[in-house]
């Protein structure tokens, strides 16, 4: 059985940067170091950081002035930032620079009188953070079939959550065209996302089974699994090697592996090794029979 890993699988630049900032902050700061929300959407990496003393809190009310707070890669709202300052906690900002760029585009559109449209997941922290930079004055469109209600349809300014699939972005733009007089689009889908989606799509077209590795709460990993399923390839989204079942590989010639931008390399290696071991055992059994 051939096992192939999609190119560019695993940590993107923004996630690597956020993890490095967290580790360095943990080493260099005395007192309690926490992240506001999980630093990335990968429960295994978050647990590892917890073991090294960097926990996360869900609520700003849990933060006290003796703490150092790391802002996660998805960013936060201006209100949350001001609340942290009021609490006099030390702030270390690990927001991905690409996400900051999107926050700035959102402000620019709003300041110029455009109705801001964000194509993305309403409940995702990145989207909530962006909305929080424009006083909640944004319409979020989550999928291509959703009803679109426009308060101001003269000038629309459109951006995307950085991890959206390009096909969804295009389909929603297509629907917006007849609804407005002026449409200004900035494709804010991150290059790291597009590259992973392209490589995964190409591998899925050529594989019998796809294994997508990463947090079940990770938007970019879930999107990778959706892309493979839409192609009709049998696809499993797993977080760790423990979830793998040997029945998945019966009569399979090629397995494709891909991992989201927040999946650590050690988990990818464990998954690869487990599938390899299943294949070796199968071959040994065939040789003996």
Q: Report CA torsion sign: 202, 204, 208, 210.
A: positive
Of 47-55, 114-122, 149-157, 186-194, which segment contacts ligand SF4 by CB under 6 A? 186-194
Least distance from C-beta 165 to ligand SF4, angstroms?
13
* Binding of residue 190 to ligand SF4 (CB under 6 A): yes
Return phi, psi of residue 4, to 5°. Answer: -125, 135
In the residue annotation, 282 being an active-site residue is answered as no
Q: Which listed residue (25, 77, 193, 235) binds ligand SF4 by CB under 6 A?
A: 193
154-173 mask for ligand SF4 (x: CB under 6 A)? --------xx----------
* Binding of residue 73 to ligand SF4 (CB under 6 A): yes
Q: Calculate the alpha carbon distances from 1 to 7, 228, 255, 265 in Å.
A: 19, 20, 7, 22
217-236 mask for ligand SF4 (x: CB under 6 A)? ---x----------------
Task: Say which of 79, 108, 123, 126 is annotated catalytic.
Answer: 126
The count of residues interacting with ligand SF4 (CB under 6 A) is: 15
Burial 172-190 (b: 16+ CB within 10 A, else e): bbeebeeebeebbbeebbb
Q: DSSP assignment of 144-175, as one string? A: TTS----S--SEEEEEE-TT--HHHHHHHHHH
Beta carbons of 254 and 224 less than 8 angstroms apart: no
* Binding of residue 132 to ligand SF4 (CB under 6 A): no
- Residue list 258-287, contact with ligand SF4 (CB under 6 A): 261
Select 96 or 176, whichever has its Cβ closest to ligand SF4. Answer: 96
Chain-centroid distance, C-alpha 82: 25
Task: Give CA–CA dist 150/153, Å, rounded.
Answer: 6
Tokens 């889908």 belong to: 189
* Binding of residue 192 to ligand SF4 (CB under 6 A): yes
The set of catalytic residues is: 126
Which residue ranges make up the site for ligand SF4 (CB under 6 A)?
12-15, 73, 96, 98-99, 162-163, 190, 192-193, 220, 261
């Amino acid at each position: 059985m051939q096992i192939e890993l999609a190119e560019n699988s695993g940590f993107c630049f923004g996630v690597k940067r956020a993890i490095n900032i967290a580790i360095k902050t943990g080493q260099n700061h005395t007192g309690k170091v926490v992240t506001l929300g999980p630093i990335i959407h990968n429960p295994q990496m978050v647990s590892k950081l917890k073991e090294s003393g960097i926990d996360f809190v869900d609520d700003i009310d849990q933060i006290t002035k003796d703490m150092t707070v790391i802002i996660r890669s998805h960013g936060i709202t201006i209100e949350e930032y001001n609340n942290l300052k009021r609490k006099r906690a030390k702030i270390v900002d690990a927001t991905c620079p690409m996400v900051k760029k999107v926050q700035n585009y959102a402000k620019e559109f709003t300041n110029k009188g455009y109705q801001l449209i964000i194509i993305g997941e309403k409940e995702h922290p990145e989207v909530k953070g962006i909305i929080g930079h424009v006083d909640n004055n944004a319409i979020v469109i989550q999928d291509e079939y959703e009803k679109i209600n426009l308060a101001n349809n003269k000038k629309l300014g459109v951006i995307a959550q950085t991890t959206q699939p390009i096909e969804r972005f295009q389909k929603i733009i297509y629907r917006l065209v007849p609804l407005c007089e002026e449409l200004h689009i900035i494709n804010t889908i991150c290059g790291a996302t597009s590259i992973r989606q392209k490589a995964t799509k190409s591998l899925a077209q050529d594989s019998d089974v796809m294994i997508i590795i990463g947090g079940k709460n990770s938007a970019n990993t879930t999107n990778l699994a959706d892309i493979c399923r839409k192609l009709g390839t049998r696809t499993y989204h797993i977080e760790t090697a423990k979830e793998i079942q040997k029945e998945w590989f019966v009569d399979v010639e090629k397995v494709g592996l891909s991992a989201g931008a927040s999946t650590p390399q050690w988990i990818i290696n464990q998954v690869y090794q487990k599938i390899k071991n299943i294949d070796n055992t199968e071959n040994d059994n065939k040789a003996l029979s």
